Amino acid sequence: MSGWDINPEGVGGVLQTVSGHLGDEEGTEGLTSDIKSFGNHIETAAVKADSGPIGTALHGFFDKYSEEMRAMASKTASAVNGCGNAVSAYMDGNLEMAAEAQSNAGTVEDPGLNRPKGAELQ
């Protein structure tokens, strides 16, 4: 017997919370919104600095770290989806095993014992 004991409702709650922190694809909430506003803040800082070297450095910083932040958001979304799929597969497997057990319940196969001729299993 497996040592797994997954609470689908609990996992769903955690995944929903993580998804909320992650945000949406449009960048209107959560981490995706923060990434979007990060770019806006960098641009504002570069303009306000009114200095070519500082603006160049800020844009270089943005180019380096915005890609890493987008990758972080993408990996998080992938992990949330993968976890949801794994729990669904686990639950589907449980349902299949339960259906198999129910279909086998009450089914008694002839054990093939040596019986006197003419004796049938009732």
Residue 99 lies in a domain: yes
Structure tokens, 72: 């972080």
pLDDT digits (tens, 9 = 90+) for 38-68: 999 999 999 999 999 999 999 999 999 988 9
Residue 43 counted as domain residue: yes
In this predicted structure, the answer to whether residue 122 has a pLDDT above a threshold of 60 is: no
- Categorize the per-residue pLDDT at 1 as very low, low, confident or very high, splitting at 50, 70 and 90: very low
Angle between helices 8-22 and 30-49 (to 10 degrees): 20
Arithmetic mean of pLDDT, 19-48: 92
CA 10, 81, 69, 43 torsion-angle sign: negative
When mean pLDDT is compared over 3-12, 33-42, 111-120, the highest value belongs to 33-42
With respect to residue 116, please indicate whether it lies within any of the assigned structural domains: no
In a domain, 41, yes or no: yes
> Quick one: CA torsion of 94, 98, 99, 100, rounded to 10 degrees?
100
Q: Which helix (H) or strand (E) holds 70?
A: helix 52-104
Per the domain annotation, does 22 fall within a domain? no
Domain count, the chain: 1
- Does residue 46 form part of some domain? yes
Domain that holds residue 39: 30-104
**C-alpha dist (Å) from residue 83 to 13, 16, 24:** 12, 11, 18
pLDDT digits (tens, 9 = 90+) for 77-121: 999 999 988 888 888 887 788 778 777 776 666 666 666 666 665
